[in-house]
Chains A and B, each alone.
Chain A
Amino acid sequence: MRRRICVLTACSAVLLTLLVCAGSVSATYWSGSWLWSPASSVLLLHYVNNAGADGKLANAADRAAVDWSNTPTVVDLQSSPPDAVISIGLTYNSTVSWDGYTHIYAGSTEIFNHSCINPCGGSNNYTSATITLNQYRMDGYTDLVVEAVAEHEFGHSLGLGHAKHANGRTTCSSIMYTPVNVTRPQAYDDSNLNTLYPNSSYSPTSPC
């Protein structure tokens, strides 16, 4: 009898451990976030599209902004140069393999921690972000792929990290994978954004 109770207790303990661990594993984020209150209904971020020298990339960036704005999250990205806090620029670099990168700033300080598991390291502190797209590489891509790369970078600019958990890569489909392998923000991405910017209208749902 005692042994049975002990076994049951031990099993319960293991279950408790698993539950706590599973509950704490979410996704990766960059530390911090844009100014946000759960009582707000929309996170309106203005961007300036400086990529006009390449119509293909400029248009893809604008479409990527619309794609994020149409997700079931609070995010609303709008083109408005005078009010911009996100800038999109171009480079032409034939000696690299990357398609784009993002920097986020809190004042003059760059956000350097890109690997938080669960939101961490401050909040409401982002003041600007820059996205750089590599014209050399993306000139060879289809419009849809260029749009996906821009979506991925916008995802970073919102505070999302690459799609993985503490124990490795997630199996969820995500625009935040690298290499990029989907062409739209996925439910996993929406869920992670809703965790970062909670609002009762867009509760986190199934992550996959």
Chain B
Amino acid sequence: MKPTRVLGPLAAATVIAVGVFALQRTYTTPRGAYGTNTSHQLSWYDATYFCCTSFTGLTKGAKVVVVSRVTKALPSYVVPNDPPVVVTAPPPHLTGPKATMIASAPTPLPNATPAVHVDDGTVMTDFTIEVLAVLRGTGIQPGQQLTVAQTGGTDGQGNQVLMQGDPLLRVGDQEILFLQQSPVNGKYYTLGGPQGRFAVSAAGTVQPKDPEEFAYTAAYSGKTVQDLTAAIQAIN
């Protein structure tokens, strides 16, 4: 038997394996892409949502679901953080082996020189959308203009802050939005951030904004607006 019969597949597999390994080591998604901004800082929010775990939950949680067109972007603004009110807790009562380890640790590993940051607030941007169709909910009519608030935008120094997986709305785009309304100021916002956003293509198909993070929305990638509408309206 020629050695190449054995070595060939082995070599090929090794090349594939090393290639896959290298790809995984360097894997980053567009969620973490930095872009080409050079004159100003670009930073990211990586938010935690308690909503939603299913398409049913998303649909039921929304006050209204609309097909919309973004017509206007307003200037960004900052929702300030509360003034700090410091509270100090006693050292934790630890259990298990760590309690012993800490007691016997000669010197804790030194931290970097304490230089803690305190965030000032959250950059937000309001958009005006035109309602093209109402798929679920009441109190909203086609043709109506709504103000939708979104996390992210440009701060007073020209620095851009974006939400991971939830790019800012763009004027002219059509999206199906699952909306909630603030009882404080009446503005709308998408439920679950990117979970409540499905881009509508010129061909009439939909694309969830962050299917990688929220797998339940991925099932609707490439479906038609009619398919998504039927799915929404089938939920009681």
Interface size on A, residues (CB 8 A): 102
B209 CB to nearest A CB, Å: 13
Interface size on B, residues (CB 8 A): 94
**Are B109 and A82 in contact, CB atoms less than 8 angstroms apart?**
no
**Are A145 and B115 in contact, CB atoms less than 8 angstroms apart?**
no
Also in contact, A127 and B17, with CB within 8 A (given A149-B48, A179-B49): no
Q: With A62-B89, A91-B79, A112-B43 given, can you name 7 additional A-B contacts, CB distance below 8 Å? A: A5-B6, A17-B17, A21-B24, A50-B85, A50-B118, A92-B82, A97-B189
Pairs A–B under 8 Å by Cβ, sample size 18: A5-B5, A9-B6, A12-B10, A13-B12, A41-B104, A42-B108, A46-B111, A52-B85, A81-B88, A83-B114, A90-B81, A95-B124, A95-B149, A96-B189, A127-B115, A132-B81, A145-B50, A179-B49
Also in contact, A97 and B185, with CB within 8 A (given A13-B9, A40-B109, A112-B44): no
**Residues of A contacting B113 in the complex (Cβ-Cβ under 8 angstroms):** 127
**Are B21 and A20 in contact, CB atoms less than 8 angstroms apart?**
yes
Interface residue B94 (Cβ < 8 Å from any Cβ of A): yes
Interface residue A126 (Cβ < 8 Å from any Cβ of B): yes
Q: Mark B61-98, 1 if CB is under 8 A from A, else 0.
A: 00000000000000000011111111111111111111
**Are A44 and B50 in contact, CB atoms less than 8 angstroms apart?**
no
**Are A116 and B28 in contact, CB atoms less than 8 angstroms apart?**
yes
**Residues of B contacting A126 in the complex (Cβ-Cβ under 8 angstroms):** 112
Also in contact, A79 and B88, with CB within 8 A (given A50-B118, A169-B215, A179-B50): yes
B81 CB to nearest A CB, Å: 5
Also in contact, A35 and B109, with CB within 8 A (given A10-B9, A17-B20, A66-B92): yes
